[in-house]
Chain A
Amino acid sequence: MVLVLALGDLHIPHRAPDLPAKFKSMLVPGKIQHIICTGNLCIKQEVHDYLKSLCPDMHVTRGEYDEDARYPETKTLTIGQFKLGLCHGHQVIPWGDLDSLAMLQRQLDVDILVTGHTHQFKAYKHEGGVVINPGSATGAYSSITYDVNPSFVLMDIDGLRVVVYVYELIDGEVKVDKIDFKKTATAHSAH
């Protein structure tokens, strides 16, 4: 069982002062094995270093407001039986369009694609795999989505199965939901 934290679009300090206190108290160092961040932290020192303190294996891709311009546009990594792809999402037009994201997924050749930019949590399955948007961890303003609730995603990867937990802060309370995905063993040829 491998825990992967997926979050992004914090927009600190442009659009939000900090992570919600309730999230901060849940995110404790040592419990998570990997962190993948879709981008738009924005400030390196505070946010990047804070996330790194939760888990040293942290991956970030570049959002259009990120202070550190050296983050890569896309990133792929393998965790257990799954190949994960990471991209902020402002590069994929139309923004939030499932089919266009599916093309990126095919291009990166990954089972799970994690993108952000719309600040709206999404997790759906299509033939190529799973596309996840962890939303905005701070509930930051978005021109695309109205009424953004702070949210982040925790993936539990176990063999051929991944359970996606989404944590959303609604009216001051943290609500959790989960979605199950199973990877079919015959899905991809060996690489």
Chain B
Amino acid sequence: MTSGGIEDEEKWLAEGIAGLQHNAFYMHRALDSNNLKDALKYSAQMLSELRTSRLSPHKYYDLYMRAFDELRKLEMFFKEEARRGCSIIDLYELVQHAGNILPRLYLLCTVGSVYIKSKEAPAKDVLKDLVEMCRGIQHPLRGLFLRSYLSQVSRDKLPDIGSEYEGDADTVMDAVEFVLQNFTEMNKLWVRMQQQGPAREKEKREKERSELRDLVGKNLHVLSQIEGVDLDMYKDTVLPRVLEQVVNCKDELAQYYLMDCIIQVFPDEYHLQTLETLLGACPQLQPTVDIKTVLSQLMERLSNYAASSAEVLPEFLQVEAFTKLSNAIGKVIEAQVDMPVVGAVTLYVSLLTFTLRVHPDRLDYVDQVLGACVKKLSGKARIEDAKATKQIVALLSAPLEKYNDIVTALNLSNYPLVMDHLDNATNKVMAVVIIQSIMKNNTYISTDDKVEALFQLIKGLIKDLDGSLVEELDEEDFKEEQNSVARLIHMLHNDDPEEMLKIICTVRKHILTGGPKRLPFTVPPLIFSALKLIRQLQGQDGDVVGEDVPATPKKIFQLLNQTIEALSSVPSPELALRLYLQCAEAANDCDLEPVAYEFFTQAFILYEEEIADSKAQVTAIHLIIGTLQRMNVFGVENRDTLTHKATGYSAKLLKKPDQCKAVYACSHLFWVDDQDGVKDGERVLLCLKRALRIANAAQQMANVTRGSSGPVTLFVEILNKYLYFFEKGNPQITSAAIQGLIELITNEMQSDTTTDPFADAFFASSLRYIQFQKQKGGGMGEKYESIKV
């Protein structure tokens, strides 16, 4: 190669083109006047421009193409000459008189083309002669282009089956031999280019060689187009010879390109049937060749082939494609000790993709691939490299996406082992991916062992893995994470109570390792899952089967009690109180008085000891009252104790209006509208009167502190409660009492310096209601008759 600057090259190219065009002009003139001798003279001179050593491949190509175009015209002239009776054999001999070898050979090839067309000699003989003669040019660049020319002009004249040049038997072999030989020689020349020039220009040479690679590769393309090359010929002759050259040339650039070429150019069925041979070459290649990309390409092609039609799948099994590929990959990884982790994992990702496409039902294959990956990763620390991590996530996501059913992925024994190699943050990301896959596909996990396996997989979300701190995570992200675990819990279900209970116990076992930060998220869904189970058991009449059955409401309540207790470590008293009350109601429905009482006790303890915020107390006491009001399982003593406590606490709330509302709410504890519900009219009245006293006190306080009257609304609310019980038929509530209240309120409102529109409206609508009831007639009308508004 030249060592001049770009400008010099431009100059030389320009000179070359000028010389070429100059001689071409005279050549044309000779052709026009049928002057063979001159035509040959000028064409030889023209072709001499290609003898230059000063051009880079890119520029040489420019010159070559111009010569090529001119030679086409010369060829047409030769054809005409032959038609006119000129002996082509003589011509063939005549052109060999050209002075320099390169022009001589170009001319020879050109005549050879016409020779073959004339059929005066068998194609194979001419081709053999030409391909041998080309050995005369050992200069890599010039030789490559010369042989490329030979390839181009001979392309349509190969003695293929069914071609007009087909000779007697075995001529396909001759065609193949010809192309193989040309290919081999071209590759040698191409590889030799690497040796030329100083060491420091290695990169430049590689770039230039890259530009020429298609010249070499074209031969493989030609081979693939020969009709006569069937599977047997490919297997027995073509592939072995090509691979022999690929391996022996020991050149990284050539090996990588040619392997890729083979894979792209020949049909996929051939690859399947020659898999062993093809893969066998891989470990023999130079260690620097990027074999994993080659293998990935191969696997991708085969994957697509498998996807193209279901009929080809049996072939894959027949040739044991998976085993061969898997072994080949193993060998490559073993041989290339320095291969970085990302390389190995990428290979396994390709193999896994292949396996999922071709053998989706073979979970053992899938597991095998994961297992091989685990083996490669074992002994190493957690992966830190971002690219490798990304590949591992791809490896793990592939089965999820393919099967759309987490249960299948849970059957892969090596799956969790691969996950273990991820760093903590990515492990959690993967866990979230798994959960999302479950939620998206609405898959239910219905056996205890699968639940256990699943929780092993997502353990990064369930508890603090060694070395990680929960504090590191952004609060919003943490919430989202834990909420997704909470939602997951609802996807774990089995209609069989025994199995369901096992599932609940397994989940409980895991979430209790989560620590105080996670419990508020994970405990509630578990509690409600268990409550649903209890309800299911309730429905199954035939209860009291015996204590030997593990799934009884009583046993589950014990579990619930212990689980809610865990919230004390957070601490989360408000949540725990609500959950205790839920359980109390459920126990009530199961007719378990002591259990319900115990839950109420726990709720009250929390109220007394843990809930200090006054607003929270108001809500909590209302929840207690509301729940207690619905209890029908308590005997008189228990009920009394609890109602006494409830009313006591109601009266002790901080703000007087809150006290008032809670106390009149307690009135409902003594009147339940059911058939056998308690209807203690006196205690109802006691509550309402107490509420009135508190309302009065509130009034007075307001007078003193603010100089204005206080909340009249409270009186209106109490009035409405009087009406409520009056209508229900509580004999203690008289129309006189109601009348008195109405007057009280009216007076208060009149003496008010400030007007409260809301209270006014409330009172007005209450009076309207009374009016409406009066006008109803019948029993109701009678009741209300004595009340004047």
Contact = CB atoms under 8 A, between A and B. Distances in A.
A is bound by B:
yes
B668 A99 contact: no
Interface stretch (A138-146, A154-162, A165-173, A175-183): A138-146
Interface centre among B488, B586, B589, B765 (most CB of A within 10 A): B765
Interface centre among B626, B673, B716 (most CB of A within 10 A): B626
B717 A13 contact: no
A10 to B, nearest CB: 12
A64 B619 contact: yes
Interface string A4-25: 0000000011111110010000
Interface string B765-778: 11011001000000
Interface stretch (A28-36, A51-59, A87-95): A87-95
A150 B720 CA distance: 33
Given A93-B626, A93-B629, A94-B629, 6 more contacts: A64-B578, A64-B619, A94-B630, A97-B673, A106-B720, A127-B772
A103 interface: yes
A28 B758 CA distance: 37
Q: Identify whether the interface residues of B are mostly helix, strand, loop, or mixed.
A: helix
A81 interface: no
A191 B769 contact: no
Interface string B92-124: 000000000000000000000000000000000
Interface string B207-228: 0000000000000000000000
B668 to A, nearest CB: 5
Contacts of A163: none
A109 B762 contact: yes
A100 B668 CA distance: 10
Interface residues of A, number: 35
5 contacts: A64-B619, A90-B622, A95-B630, A106-B766, A143-B589
B525 A45 contact: no
B762 A107 contact: yes
Contacts of A45: 476, 479-480
A191 B578 CA distance: 40
A85 B488 CA distance: 35
B524 interface: yes
Interface centre among A15, A100, A189 (most CB of B within 10 A): A15
Interface in B473-529: 476, 479-480, 483, 486-488, 490-491, 521, 524-525, 528
Given A65-B578, A90-B623, A16 B762 contact: no
A18 B720 CA distance: 40
A123 interface: no
Given A94-B629, A191-B761, A13 B525 contact: yes
Interface of A: 12-18, 21, 43, 45-46, 64-65, 90-91, 93-95, 97, 99-100, 102-103, 106-107, 109, 127-128, 140-141, 143-144, 146, 189, 191
A93 B766 contact: no
Interface in B618-646: 619, 622-623, 625-627, 629-630
Interface string B705-716: 000000001001
Contacts of B765: 106, 109, 128
Nearest to B582: A143
Contacts of A107: 713, 716-717, 720, 758, 762
A69 B480 CA distance: 19
A106 B720 CA distance: 9
B21 to A, nearest CB: 71
A103 B769 CA distance: 10
B531 interface: yes
A17 B490 contact: yes
Contact of B525 (A15, A18, A95): A15
Contacts of A46: 483
B727 interface: yes
Contacts of B531: 141, 143
Interface string B231-245: 000000000000000
A45 to B, nearest CB: 7
Contacts of A144: 585, 630
Given A16-B490, A17-B491, A103-B724, A93 B625 contact: yes
Given A45-B479, A106-B762, A127-B769, A99 B626 contact: no
B665 interface: yes
B476 A189 contact: no
Contacts of B521: 13
A144 B531 CA distance: 13
B686 to A, nearest CB: 17
A43 B524 CA distance: 13
Given A94-B629, A107-B713, A12 B528 contact: no
Nearest to A69: B615
B29 interface: no
B622 A93 contact: yes
Contacts of B720: 103, 106-107
A43 B483 contact: yes
Contacts of B724: 99-100, 103
B543 to A, nearest CB: 16
B144 to A, nearest CB: 64
A144 B668 CA distance: 17
Contacts of A91: 622
A17 B764 contact: no
Interface string B747-789: 0000000000110011011101100100000000000000000
B17 to A, nearest CB: 68
Contacts of A65: 578
Nearest to B482: A13
B666 to A, nearest CB: 9
B253 to A, nearest CB: 55
A68 B524 CA distance: 17
A93 B665 contact: yes
Contacts of B727: 99
B525 A143 contact: no
A138 to B, nearest CB: 10
B582 A90 contact: no
B532 A141 contact: yes
Contacts of B721: 103
Task: Name the 7 nearest CB pairs between A and B, nearest first.
Answer: A13-B486, A143-B585, A17-B487, A14-B524, A106-B765, A103-B720, A109-B761
B535 interface: yes
